[in-house]
Structure 1
Amino acid sequence: MSGLTVLSDSAVHRLLIGLSKDEIIAFQASLSKCLQGFSVGTERQYQPTPGIINRPNGQKTLFRPFTSPTAVGTKIIVDPAPKSDNTKLPLQGVVALCDENGLPKGIINGGELTGYRTSLIAIIPYMWRRNTENVVVYGSGKQALWHIRLMLALRGMEIKTITVVNRSESRAREMLDKIAQENAAQWKSSATMEYLNPSGSNFEQSLKGILAEADAIFCTVPSYEPLFPAEYILNQGKRTKSPYISAIGSWQSNMIELDPALIKGIVNDAENGFHPEHGSAGAILVDDRTTILTHTGEAVKSELKLDDMVEVGKIFYLRENEPDKTQKEKLNQWLAEGLVVYKSVGVSVTDLAAGERILALAKEHNLGVHIEDF
């Protein structure tokens, strides 16, 4: 069926929320293949540079074009300016896709697509982890929501506790209520879901204890200051396990979720880090080294260098093709049990891959508005 398909946010949500575990894994595999093509294949050279516009009123707009042998297009995401009462609307946007000849084939609301794509990629290294009993999630927006949904769908039977940290208690509890209803109907995990209030009198003490026991920490906040001190992770004398930490909330050089001391402590200290390619102490796992270097506060404030980072697409390659058996074992042990920090700003071709997959699902389920002659 040719022509243009238009998908609303609610239509995209219906498609994604109903996917089975096997369907989610297949979706994730398509994104993994895309990342590998970007990092060790030839696709990087064919991706235009993304653009960011900051207006004086506080509005931020991301323009992210992409190409492939079979499609071209772009994503536009807007972080709205604060309202007069200082409230913030969520990120909004659109993904537009054409075929290789430039014929329009899809216009997709970018909200659910971006939340799902970003969360599903952040979950990739999490799937390599050996243990996931205790999880901490920072945030209560669409990204946090999809992170938790995907964790429950993919590893819900292994999770014992999920702790949500968010400044707005009402938003956090609203999200947890929604997830509890969805979990009861779909994934049926026995995980306990709790809220930790940053305004509480014992917050720092409670947070330090929770992070000491965390197997995974997911940060989804567009923050301008670190969410927790590096010492809560690096200097836990009684820590018996190291967590997987994902940070997807900061996407400009003045935004930051992770303490620069945490980044430095990993790349400069062999006791805390591991580097799968070089003899240096440790590496940060990223999706796009070049963009991370200049577009995130974590990289700018910790003075990261390109060689301090390894792209997740390269990790896929090394897991299959590392010739040194001992090094391969060390790599897999680090990914399974070591202190792994993943920092993401998004890779344009994954928006394309996600958009094409969603269009295929829409065709299969007869969803969206189709225009034959556009």
Structure 2
Amino acid sequence: MPLTVLSRSQLRELLHALSRDDVVALQRNLADALRDYSSGSQEKGCSAAYQPQRTAITRQNGCTTLFMPASTGQTIGIKMISLQDGAKAGCAIERDIVDTQEKEQIISRRRGSFRNSVASLSSDMSDLSVGSSQGDKEDSNSVSPVTTTNDSSTTASSTDGSTLLSGCVNQQNVTSNVSKTLGAWPGAGARDTSPRGSVTLLDGESLPFALINAHELTAFRTALASLLMFNKRKKVRTLLVFGAGTQAYWHIRLALVLRGEDIRRVYIVNRSFERAAELLREIYKSENTEWRRDVKFSAMSTDFGEYARILKAHVRKADAIFCCTPSPEPLFPAEYLTTGEGRQKGRLICAIGSYKAHMAEIHPDILRDEVSVQPPHRHWHKHITRSGVIVVDSLDAAMKEAGEIIQAEIKPKQVVELGELLMVRDATRNAETVDEEKSLHEWSRRGNVIYKSVGLGLMDLVTGGDLVRLARERKLGTTVEDF
């Protein structure tokens, strides 16, 4: 059985050579997998029912390794990433931290049939209204997408999104004072926040056929998922990116590959200006001219004079905001978007950097404001109505790991999976009435959309498998013929 090995440099070479058509094809396959993940169908190999829980082990040297298994029905795989987090030795597995009522809501969503899930979401979207004193002009529309009632009587929250159950393989007892990250992330003060590890892929007969370096793959597949909503946006002239690492790079690059003709400005904000300058130097390399086009880039750091004033202007001006930092506190004040001026336009906000319960790139008040919807009515002034939901990659994982969602006390019924939206989109294409399709279409194009990603092993498995196929076709990587 031949084994294809893609090192970090080899994978980077492959990714940099991808055409727009290649990226679109990879994104389409990932979208199909996320749709199947959310379907709840036992016939779908990518369904959440077939995705095992992750587990983590901390060794004596304080290094924590996270194991993320996944299955597509045709292939299986596991992602292993490690970092120093200073925890005591032991093993940890996930434990549910939501209350019984919330758990039942999640199970119900998973158990529901495809048609019932679609009907429920379509019904939520049926009250979308578009009104304006200026007719149907784009910037004057009031878009009210998915609406969900906020039931304050069920507001029970957990303050620790990484609660663990002590235990280990073969039922061996270990200390209960094990790593509470379950994400293999470094502790405070650590310099390197990039995980190190690999993704192993096995075929239908459980024989390994690929080994991929996880660093570049993680950033690339995360950006692919974030940009599924970005593709549908009506206006993407101005992008604001927080962070200057690998995640930021791939969000910028793929955004320009997919929508470069529509983008005019990209603002980069990072704590270290030198790190931001390094990212700009990478972007401005001569070999990147084709996808960079004539887009104007600028960078700033927190030590800039009048930083708050400039940041506020950037946030208000942005059509799409990508948050790609492991920040323990919000990157900008909530009032930038929750006051009247901040609500005058719809934005896509993607938060993919935070990974612990105490972290929050987006201020929790922004999420609370988004889900606190009012009865549908027409606005005769320039104003975007709040959506009522937060979009996530995984409902189960987001309720356990997403700091913004935990701190804002968002409930399961106020969360919609990206895969569920794709289900509705596909189902309404052939619907007898176009009302549901129009509602989803208008919101995805011009409404306010907040997307929170915590990552899934399924993403690595699907995108990694596609990249291995491309690598073999293009004679890239290292092949071990008789593994």
Q: Does the C-alpha gap of structure 1 residues 169 and 54 become closer, same or farther in structure 2, counting only changes over 3 Å?
A: farther
In 2, Cα distance between equivalents of 1:53 and 1:218? 31
In 2, Cα distance between equivalents of 1:84 and 1:289? 28
Q: Does the C-alpha gap of structure 1 residues 370 and 316 become closer, same or farther in structure 2, counting only changes over 3 Å?
A: same
Counterpart position of 2:412: 306
Please say if 1:212 is aligned against 2:325: no
Counterpart position of 2:203: 99
Q: Does the C-alpha gap of structure 1 residues 46 and 14 become closer, same or farther in structure 2, counting only changes over 3 Å?
A: same
Counterpart position of 1:78: 82
**Equivalences for 1:1-374 in 2 at 5 Å?**
2-40=1-39, 41-42=41-42, 43-52=47-56, 61-81=65-85, 86-88=190-192, 90-181=194-285, 184-237=288-341, 240-270=344-374, 272-274=385-387, 282-322=388-428, 323=431, 325-374=434-483
Q: Does the C-alpha gap of structure 1 residues 85 and 223 become closer, same or farther in structure 2, counting only changes over 3 Å?
A: closer
Q: Does the Cα contact within 8 Å between 2:352 and 2:454 map onto a contact in 1?
A: yes
For normalisation by structure 2, the TM-score amounts to 0.72
Deviation of 1:171 (Å)? 0.8
Q: Does the C-alpha gap of structure 1 residues 363 and 83 become closer, same or farther in structure 2, counting only changes over 3 Å?
A: same
Deviation of 1:251 (Å)? 1.9
Q: Does the C-alpha gap of structure 1 residues 240 and 302 become closer, same or farther in structure 2, counting only changes over 3 Å?
A: closer
In 2, Cα distance between equivalents of 1:117 and 1:93? 15
Which whole-Å deviations, capped at 9, do the CAs of 1:203-254 have from their partners, x for residues lacking one?
A: 1111111111110000011111111112111214275422100001112222
Structure 2 gaps of 5+ residues are 86-185, 375-383
In 2, Cα distance between equivalents of 1:120 and 1:182? 24
Structure with the bigger RCO (C-alpha within 8 Å, sep 6+) is 2
In 1, Cα distance between equivalents of 2:197 and 2:425? 35
Q: Does the Cα contact within 8 Å between 1:6 and 1:108 map onto a contact in 2?
A: yes
Counterpart position of 1:277: none
Q: Does the Cα contact within 8 Å between 1:157 and 1:190 map onto a contact in 2?
A: no
Deviation of 1:57 (Å)? 8.2
Deviation of 1:310 (Å)? 0.6
In 2, Cα distance between equivalents of 1:256 and 1:53? 25
**Any idea what SS the aligned residue of 2:299 has?**
strand
For normalisation by structure 1, the TM-score amounts to 0.92
Q: Does the C-alpha gap of structure 1 residues 237 and 221 become closer, same or farther in structure 2, counting only changes over 3 Å?
A: same
Q: Does the Cα contact within 8 Å between 1:234 and 1:272 map onto a contact in 2?
A: no
Q: Does the C-alpha gap of structure 1 residues 184 and 115 become closer, same or farther in structure 2, counting only changes over 3 Å?
A: closer
Q: Does the C-alpha gap of structure 1 residues 56 and 104 become closer, same or farther in structure 2, counting only changes over 3 Å?
A: closer
Deviation of 1:33 (Å)? 0.5
Q: Does the Cα contact within 8 Å between 1:53 and 1:62 map onto a contact in 2?
A: yes
In 1, Cα distance between equivalents of 2:6 and 2:292? 29
In 2, Cα distance between equivalents of 1:194 and 1:54? 41
In 1, Cα distance between equivalents of 2:366 and 2:342? 18
Q: Does the C-alpha gap of structure 1 residues 84 and 69 become closer, same or farther in structure 2, counting only changes over 3 Å?
A: closer
Which whole-Å deviations, capped at 9, do the CAs of 1:262-297 have from their partners, x for residues lacking one?
A: 1100011346422xxxxxxx0001110111001111
**Any idea what SS the aligned residue of 1:218 has?**
strand
The share of aligned pairs that are identical, in percent, is 36
In 2, Cα distance between equivalents of 1:186 and 1:65? 37
Which whole-Å deviations, capped at 9, do the CAs of 1:157-205 have from their partners, x for residues lacking one?
A: 2111100010011111100111122575321421110012211231111
In 2, Cα distance between equivalents of 1:48 and 1:83? 26
Aligned-pair Cα RMSD in Å? 2.1
**Any idea what SS the aligned residue of 2:464 has?**
helix
Q: Does the C-alpha gap of structure 1 residues 85 and 221 become closer, same or farther in structure 2, counting only changes over 3 Å?
A: closer
Q: Does the Cα contact within 8 Å between 1:319 and 1:328 map onto a contact in 2?
A: yes
